[in-house]
Structures are given as structure tokens and as C-alpha cells.
Structure 1
Amino acid sequence: MDEHIRIGDVSPRVQYLADGTQASFTYPFPIFHAEDIEVRLDGLVAAGGYQVAGAGASEGGSVVFDAPPAAGCRITLRRDLPVSRTSDFQANGILRARVLNDELDYQVAVLQEVKDGLSGALRLDPSEPGTGTVLPLREARANRLLGFDSMGAVTVIDRGEGTMSVPFPGGVPRTVEDKLAEHLSARDFGAVGDGAADDGPALQSAMNAAAASGKFLEIGEGLFRTSMPLLLPGAAAGLVMRGTILYAGPPGQAALTLGDGAGANNQRKAYLGLGVLRAIQSDWIDEADVGIRIRNIDASRVEIRRAERFTIGVQLVGDGRGCEDSDIHYGRVADNRIGLDLRTLTANAWMNSLRHHGGHFACASATNPGIGRFGIRLSAAPDAYRLHNAHLFLGPGFELQRQGTPGTVDAIPFLVEVDGRGLIAEGVRMEACSPYVARHTGGFSDALYRVAYVGTYGFTGCGVQYSGASRAGGTVLPLHQAAAAQGTPRLVAEAGNVRARAFRWDASGIGFEGMAVLSGNPAGPPATLNGFCFPGLDSLGLNAETVTLPTSRALAFVVDCTTCKEFFLAAEGSGLRPMAMQFSAAEAVMDGSAPVLWSNMNAVWQGAPSYWWEGNADLDSLVGGLPLNRLQRVTLAPNAAFAVIGVRGGNANALLKSLRLYAPATEAPQVLAGAGRLWGSRELTASLAYDPPSIAAGASAMQAVALPYVQNGDFVQAAFGGQASAYIDWSAAVTTTGAAGTVTARASNRHGSLAIDLAAGTLFLRAVKPRL
């Protein structure tokens, strides 16, 4: 027989989000007839345009649209049965199971729809009794607010007497008026903010009210023009601005002053979103022309969006006490002669422990071009307290327009006119500034400027200028294009005086202790490390204090770079070009597929026969008038095991004075020279098992020993490791030279009458190349 439909515990509704291509959508609940399903598209009932399959099936079916619904369309499929009964059981009639099951199935399906509908209704929590939920009569609720009384029952409230409370336990009902008065708004006092009306009196009234009530003042969106300077007394809780004050008042005034002076403690304040713009650009003559002046803040937070066109953009003042332990965030501080001034006014004031975040301190090229400008000043009035301590600046940016190259006016980020300790500036950015990150005119100590970027004028243009200062208390760590100079402190190899390391290798070749000599055109060419690194070559010029390094020659250190892949090269001289070669673990030379990278110039692959990478400029070449190329980090290929790092002559008259190689502090790479390597050592040695013959009185015995590369003029010695005799003298002499050189050892018997026969031992030979 036919299987009867089953009504499972399945929600009678399902939703989909159309993708523009799918036309068939399933429904997991059973329906009795095709018309029992309701189809909605974006909430609207669809009258047609689809077919329904699966009516009468327990597992549901599908709705197939004639055309796919548009992408993003929300599709709702829900069962919607009419609530009615059309069948009836007859008295004493036959009660058929199928008919009864159909009736019960239909009722269960309808109840599922009721349950689904109640899930979206506003209703009481099951733990609450169902009392007090009847709406008042129409006449009682007309033109009134619907709410809840103190017992939570539905009630109505007059519009003018409404109360509000937070929807959480413990909330106390409050009038709407009281709620809205938590913060004062400048518009409550008549401020317009259209940039034309004079909002000064309204703003000052609002500030006075905030001080009288101890509340926050809010200045909303808009441009609030004022013809008078404004003061928010310290009794106000704080100020929040989303708009900007346009100052059109008299010059020589602070447009906006926050807090009280004369010893008042402006503590635990929040001044957020401050923005002040001067209507006419200041001529920068009067330092009393200030945008935002903040007095005696302590444990506070300040956020400045903009302060523009004043002599001093922002000024923190210590007056009768000081500013300390606060965070100040800066935005755009532009077209001011001094962007930020940290100033003490009295002998019992201070300026300590302030944290300064960000800030774009900038000037336009056309703004007072003949007057010097400074980003941040630490200053003190005459006879005021001068010890400013512990200022931390994080990420300030300066674009001060120094007016020409070289600059014709001062454009210096920091001006330190006071004494004190502990100014730290991290991540300083300098654009179009003077070649100084700071000017010190007092006795300030322990100022650290970490310059992240200097822009057009190079990292060398960020020193400290001492103008009448009593201490040189500034340290500059430039990172721009030379970060390796700060991060590679371990000295690996050093030739502090290359000229003093020179020695004669052979008749025409010159070698250098601890260093390899390389040719730009080696014969062959060689294929291995030992073939490319020569102990000495010709064409090198030795001067009184320097070495002339032609373009065909290079001097370098050879290192094991199995683990250490980054080195820092420092060279002193002129016309020198950095170079590097790489070799595999088998000491085979690596080709151009394994690049070497320099930190501040492009790398050029020379290819055969030299097989080295070099920089595309000399180390002392100028960029924009500055030697940007002097400090170079070299990064080797990951598969390099040995490297040759040094300099070659960039021109025929290149001079080398000193050469140093550094590596990261965590590395200690081995330097290869001597000890089995032919290059970099003045000393040659050899040994031979030797049984001297019996030597008659006054006679001598000689033994030739092979000592490759020994030359006439080398200092040679012989020694015997075996039986000793006070009457036997050992000496040596070069007998043949070159790659197959030979040294002859002589044993001379000085005894007047006895022959001496020494027991067998080892004959040692040593040759030392002469210094040049």
C-alpha cells in the first residue's frame, strides 16, 4: 500500500540568498498540496513564475523558478495551510486509519506554523506571570508614549514628562531633560557653526556653563568663527570637538586656552578632537600669537586634530606648577613658526614625563619664506625653571620647507633651548628640513633621535647642531637607507691601516695580511675559491699612507657564510666600489643566478671571468650633494657557503685607507686567511723527517727542503726538532724560488775537535715575506 506522509520536527520555513544562476531551491518540510507553500522574494509574495514539486512527500520537495532570481534576492519558502476542516466522521461509520492520520497530520502541521509565527512575536519571558500586558483603551493611549511602569506593566506616559532608563537591572528612570543635559553642547547656547556668524560669545557662554556645572562641553560639526579669544576654565570636565574654531580675533592672543594658570592643577582632563584655524596667516613676529594653549595638565589626555597659521600652533605651559604624566596626540600642525612649544613660565613650574604621539608638523613653501621655522621647541621664560625631563615622541613627521638647497632659512624639527635629560624621539620623519634633526642651545643631556626617514636630503642630513650649547647631549641614530649601520655591531674582520699590511709576495706581486687580492680578469678563469683568491698581485700602488687600487684589482676579506648571510661593509678611501663573490659548500664559484644585494645601491653582475657582484656607484659618490652610499649592507644568497667581500678600484686612482667588515651581534663567522689558505699570510712553513749525518769538527751538513712560493729576500729560518747540541748551529738559505721553491738548511759543527752525530728528528723551515 502507499506510504503515508509523516510530519517530522522540521521548521515550516526556509530561506536562501540567490546567486543569480540557481533556479531550484529545496524545502525540507512536507506539504499536502502544491498550493500549500508560500513563496516570497525579498519579503513580497510571488504570485507565479515557479513550479512546486514534492507535494505529499514526507521529506519535502523543491520550488523551481522559470528564471533564476536576481543575485542577492532573499528567497523565503514557508508552509501556509488554511485553518479549516472539510471532512466529518459519521456516527457508527467506518473509521479509516488513513483518513484519521490525514486529519492529525494536518493539525500538527498547522501547529508548527503557529509555533514558527510566535517565535518572532514580542512576548513575556516564561518565568513571568502573564498579567499587566493588556494595552490601555484607545482613548487612554492616544497621543501618548507607550512604556512600562515601576512594576514592568504596560502603561502610557505624557510626551512632556517622559522618563528614560537603561535596559539593565539597577537602572534608574530619569527624565529626558536630565539625560540630555549630561553633556553641554555649544549649539545649546546659540553657536551656529556656519563659518560666517560670530559664534565667539555663544562659545564662551557654553565654556562658562561647562565650568560652572563641571561638565563636558561638546562643539559639534561645523566651522565656528570667533572674533574673540576663548577660555575653557579648568573646572570644566573637558572638551570634545568635532568641528573647528576659526579664529578671527585680535593678534597676539591665544585663540583657545584650556585650563587655569598661576598654580592651578588642571588634572584628569580629556580634551579631544581640538581644531583651531587662524582666519589670516600670522606673520610669525609675535610669540603671543598662539593657536591652542594648555596650562598645567596632569594625568590627562589631549587629542589635537589641527592647529594652523599661528606663530605657535600648540603651547603647553607650566605656570606656578607644571605639565606632567599626560598623553598628547597630534594631527596636522601646519604653517606655524613653532609647531609645538613646551614652555615653563615661572621658577616653580616644570615640564616632565609627557608622551607625545604622532603629528604632522609642516609649512607650505609660500608661508613666510624668509623666516626660520621649527617643529617642536623646549623652552623657558627668563628666570623660569629650565630642567625639562623625560619627553617621549613617537612617530612625529616634519615637512618644514627649508627653502632651497642648501637651505636659506632654518627648518629644524627640534629646538632645545633648555637643560634637562631624557628626550627620546622614535621614528622621526624629515622632509625638506635643514641638515639637522635638532638644535641644542642649552645644556640638555641624553637626547636620542632615532630618524626613520629623511627624504630627499639623505640620512647624513640629520645631525645635531650645537649653537652656544654647554653640552653635546644629543645622539642621532639614522635608519634611512642605512638601518644595517645600527643593527650589525659585531666586528668580523678589520684592516684599520691597509697600507701597513702590505708585504712582498714575489718579484712583482704585493699581498696584504689577512686579506685576499683579486683580479678582474683572472686567467682561465678559475672555478674555485682558492683559484680566485690570490696571495699577491701586481699593479697595486703603495703610497705613504694609502694603497692605490686600480679597477682591475680588489682587496677583500674571505668569510664562511654558511649561517651568516648579512654583512656590513665600511671602507675609508676614495673611488672605491663594493664587491662580493659567492661560493658553494664545495667552494665552487656561484654564477649570476644567486644574486648579492646591497642596502643602498643597485647590484651589478660582472660575470666571467671575474664572477663578482658589485655596486653601481662608488662608496664616496654623492647623491644630491651628500654621500649616501658610504654605509652598505650586503645580503648574500641563501645557498652561499663562502663569500669574498671587499672593494675594487672604481677608477684608476682609487685610494684605500681602511676596510672593516661587520655582522649581526648573534653571528661569529670565520675569517679565512693563512692556516692552509695561501692568501693573507706572510709566513710559509715546511717540515721534513731528517736524520743528520755525522758532522766533523768545523764542518757542516746541508739538506734541501721544498718550500713552495719562497722568494729570494724572504726571511728564512731552520730549526731541528730532535737531539740538541750546543755546538750545532742551524741556518737556512733560499736556493730556488717560485712555485717550486726550495730552502736549504745548514747544520754547522762549531766544536774544535769532535765530530757530532745527532739522532733522527724533524727539520722545520720557516720563511717570512718582507713588509713593504
Structure 2
Amino acid sequence: MAEHIRIGDVAPRVQYLGDGLRTAFTYPFPIFLASELELRLDGVPLSGGYSVAGAGSSEGGLVTLAAAPAEGSTVTLRRRIRVERSTDFQDNGVLRARTLNDELDRIVAALQEQREELSGALRQDPAEVGGAFTLPLRTARANRVLGFDGGGDLVVLPRESGLIGAPFPGAVPYTVEDKLAEQLSARDFGATGDGVTEDGPALQAAMNAAGVSGKALLIGEGSFRSSQPLTLPGASAGLIMRGSIIYAGPAGQPALTIGDGGSARNASKLHSGLTVLRANQSDWENEGDIGILLRNHDASIIEVRRVEGFSIGIRTLGDGRGFEDSTLVLGRIVNNRIGLDVHTATAAAWNTSIRYHGGHFAVGSTTHVDKDRFGVRFSAAPGAYVAHNRHVFDAPNFELNAEGRPIAGIPFLCEVSSRAVIARDMRMEGCTGFVARHTGPAQDHVYEVAWASQGYMVEIEHASASTRLGGVVRALHQAAAHREATREVASVPSLRAAAIRWNATEIGFEKLACLSSNVSGSPAVLHDFVFPGLDAFELTNRGVMLTGGRALGFIVDARQCRDFALSVDADAPRLVVMCFDGANNLLTDSLGPLVLASGQSVVWNPTARWWQGAADMTDEGLSRLQALRLSPAVATAVIGVARISTDYELRALRLNCDPRHAPALMYGLPDLPIGKRDLVAELAWDPPSIAAGGSTQVNVPLPGARPGDFVQAAYSLSTSGAVFLSQIGAQDVVTVTVWNRSGAALDLSAGTVRVRVVKA
């Protein structure tokens, strides 16, 4: 040997997996001779067909085979030293260090081999002392099985008893067959899981057995290919999957159905690791092409690890009975047109009160690039139950690859009257600009977006058939602090204090426009419909009584902000909204629905020419709090309440909006003199010379001025010696009298007379 070997603490065995190409394999332990390296291929020792290099080196060496081992085969290299004494030290002879070290190295190498072999043997725990583990004589142990007695010592048992017991106090002995049948395995029925063999019949047989026995079924590691749809009966205790089902069966059918339909209640089930992959990507044309169909589950826990390649990835189904009060843990839901479909099939079924955790809803960048895709859909068959209530999603992730494409990639699609759908801490990547599309009367949805590639402007899309303002978006992405605020557009905290008596019969209110349900003539623009005051308003101690088709509302600029919330203190108010375009022309229902409300439908009133709520705003009807969304066609809106079916007292009105906007409240403008208690006007005037003690007058036109109003007058120049007095002698005119109180004639220069009227 060229050098002295150093024996390190390295296991004298190493194993490789063949790939069909590799022929050279290293061994990291030292050997003394090439003949001391043993090579095994798939456990069988080879006597030739390879060469060994590196014998005598402390770092090991290399084994080279003449032919590469097949893919998947095992190649085992281990050191096998002959245990023999090949040298002898002579009495009084020379004891060389190298010779002594070589002998000691062989001893250490042999001990390493023994330790390696003993590591795979049955042995007593080092913490235990004593015990009887000596085998009985051959005749005493023939045709018997080894076991352990109550003290843990070795004992032989009659072979025909077939009983075993768990090594714990109080354990009851029972047969091996019973032990193995505690949980069924798909492999017990012939399933291979090699990804090639047809495992469908074996899987279905295993599922049928689980249903008959009421036990859970284990589908172990591997890929189980099936060309037939599979069904796990509802009587089974559950399904545990560590591998995956590869569905290669006909389209238009669920690949895996779990649970019974009809009146069955599949309660208290535990399904974990569910993984169903379609062998070929679905064309997304057939909605019967479903990965996992879960029927009528109640009080169950379901974990879906992965479902991929279907038109609908997962469908939870109320079918004859309901799907309710369960928890779904969601993993990767990929390349499905609809990731999760919350569905009902009959009028007597329901789908409600479900908790969802996680879920990565994704579509690949090359998958059906011309087709819409959705993460979660709420749907129902024709005539089925549609009130899907209280579904809570925690931290779902949507990566739909639709941004910048002429297709829809939207996390939520709501086609029913779902209520209280809450999605928290969502992520939107590559989606279109809508967090949800509502096509029906969905309401009370809250979508909290923690991150979105779209930035701030994430909205809810309300289709033309939608009859509710279905929810709210809380876009926290770089705007959390700002989002937690709301912006007050206008407030009239006391209608009684805000009342303005325009004349003997007409009353108006600060900041508010007065409306009538029956405007005479041919009104067409905003100014034809809004008035500073009207008759038939009856003031009370705390507010105003709306009678005779009267209404009050705020006029707001809706060009940028389309979302508002109206708060009302009244007995039973009725919501009304009038809509106008950018030229102040009235918008009718010819453009379709222009207004959506959160808690009720909004209908068009052709006589009053406004949109009004279908019901009063009451606590009993769950319609007291109303949020509104206006169509993009609306540039100006009048938002308020009206008397529709009965008189009622109105005491306070407040209007709020999304804090991203600060829309203008339109009142008291030169071309819109409504809702303002103070009226002002001015007139250029060159007064004549006024004799001592004399006076002169000038009339200043001021629309809205009525006898009995408070009035003031002033002049733009110095008026030493003159007193300006004002009064309203006739409607819409303020008479200003200038009295010369000095003892000499007074000649004022030309200036401007200004008057101010305060309505009572």
C-alpha cells in the first residue's frame, strides 16, 4: 500500500439508485484490498463485471461497471473484510509501528462492519436491564410463533391461536386479520399505484368495502390511474390519500364522488389529502367534468391537497339534503375553469355555514388563454335553493393569468342570493380588475384584498341582472390605514333646525333639495326637478312630516365616486335616487338599472321619474342601512328619501362615501339656489344727491327673498352721514333706503349695494 490507511467514522456501506446511464459509483470508506469490496445489484452479489480502484486509500475509491445498471435498480457497495490473523509478532522481534497500525486498522474496520450489521437486528433498548430472550430448543419452538409475556420476556405461542396484543397495559389480544382490517388500504384490493396500471376497478372495490364496513379507506403513496369515475359511499368513515388519483375516464362525469345524495346526511366525516388529477386537460366546455364532488356533508373536515385540469375542480353539493357546518382546507386548485363550485341541486337542499382555509386557485399562462376563469362560484340548478349563507374564506390566493387579456379572471362569481360571504386576506395576482362578479341578488359580501397586482382600483362587477349592491371591497394593499376611515359627504343632524320657510306655504331645508313625485309640465333636466322649497311639508317638534308625495335629498357629483351610504333617522323611510348625465339631463330606465342598493331591490317609478326602494328602510326588513352604487352613466344624483305609501316623520339625514373620494355636494350655487338659508345679491348704483334729512331708495332683485325674512344692506364705499335701511316689501325684491341724517346735502359716489337675506 502506498500510504498508511486512516480509518474514520464512516459507515462501510453506501447505496445508489441506477438511472440506466451511470456506470461509475464512488465508495467513501477505505478498503485494504480490491477483493474486500462487495457489490450487490438489486440485492444480488456480483462476482464479476466490474473493476475497483482506490484500494488502500483513506478516502475510498471508485467502482466501475461494464454495463450501466437499469433505471430504478439498487446498487449497494459494502466492505467485507476476512476475519483472520494473517501476521504474527515474534518474541524479541522488531515491532514496527506500521505493521501494528495495519493490524489495528483491520480490527477497527471489522468492528465497523459488525456495528453496521447489528444496527438492523432486533435488540433490547439500552434503557432496559435484564430480560429473557434466549430461544427455546428447536423442538419446543417448532410450529409456534414468538411473542412476549406479561413481563416483556420472550415466549412461544400456539400458532393456531392467531392472536396478538399491543404492548401496552390492558391491551386486548386479537387476530392479525382484525388488526389489518382496522383501516382498509386500496392495495389490499389490488391497486398498484404505478401510474400505468388500470387501478379503477380495484379502487372502486376498496371504496365499496369501506362503505359496507363503515371504515376509513387509505389510498397510499403512488399514482393510481383510473379510467372509470369513482364513488366513495357515504357510509364510509372517510378517505385518507397520500398518493393521487389520475383520472383518464370519460368527460362530463365527476372523477371522484364522495358521499351519498338524496336524504343522506354524510356527517362527521374526515377526508384528508384528496388529490385528483386529470390525465388530459379538460376543454372547459362541459360543466359535468368535475374533479371532486362532495355531497351533503355536515360537521365534517375535508382537506383537498390538489385538484387539476377539470372544468370544475371541486363542487360542494347540497343534493336532497344540505351541505353545511363543515371545514374545508384547500391546497392547489390548478387549471380549472371554476376552482370551487358551491352548488345546490334541489329546492330542499342548502349550502351554508362553511369555513374555508387557504387555497391556491391558479391557471397556467398557456391554459385556454381565450376563456374566462373563476376561483369560487356560488351557483344553483334551476329551481334549487339559492340562499347560500355564511361562507368564510381565510387567506385564499388567486393567480388566474387574465390581466391584460380580453377575458375574465375573477376570484368570485356569485349567481345566487348568497349572503354573508366573507373573504379575508385575499391575494390577487394576474386577475382582472374585479374581485367578484355578481349576477344575482347577492348581498352582505365582504372582500378583503391584502395584495393585488391591480393596485387600489379593485371593484365588484354587478351584471345587468344583479338586483342588489352585493358587498364591499376592503382593498388593504398599501392603503390599509386610509381604508379604515369613511368620508362624510353631507350631514343634516336636525331636520327641524335646518328648516327654511321660503314663504307662507313653502318650506325648504339646508343642504337639501325638495322633490315632488308629480312634477307638472315636461321636466327634462335637473333644475326642473329640484326646488328650494315646496308646500305640504309639516314641521314637527323634532323634524318634518313627509306627506303628499314629497321627498328630500342630497345632490351629489357622482362623476368620480359611485358608492354611497345613506343613514336616516325616520320612522319608515323609502329610499329614492334621481339620476342625471353630464349635461344634467334626466336618465331613465332606458339604459337599464342605474342604481343598486345593498339590502333591497330598486325599481323605476315612471311617474316620479326616480328609482325607489322596493321596501321601506326598517330594522324588521333588514333594510335600515342602505349602501348604493350608481352606474358609470350617472354624473349627478339626488339621493334621499320620499313619502310613498304613508306619511312619516324624518328627523336626520347623513350621506357617506368611500374614503378614496370627496365628491362635491351641490347646493347654494349661482345656478342651483337650493338648500341655502343665506341669500345674497348686489347691484351697481350711483345714488342721487340726498338733501339734509332726506332719503332715497333702490330695489335690489333677490330671488327667494320673502316678506318676514331677516335682511341687511351695505354699500361698497364710505357712507359717513348716511344710514342704510332694508326691507322686503315684495317677493324677490329687497328695498334699500338711504337716509341722510346729517345737516347738509349728501352726494355719494357710485358703488355697489349689497344685500343679505336670512331665511327664517
TM-score range, shorter chain: 0.3 to 0.5
Normalization by structure 1: what TM-score? 0.46
Normalization by structure 2: what TM-score? 0.47
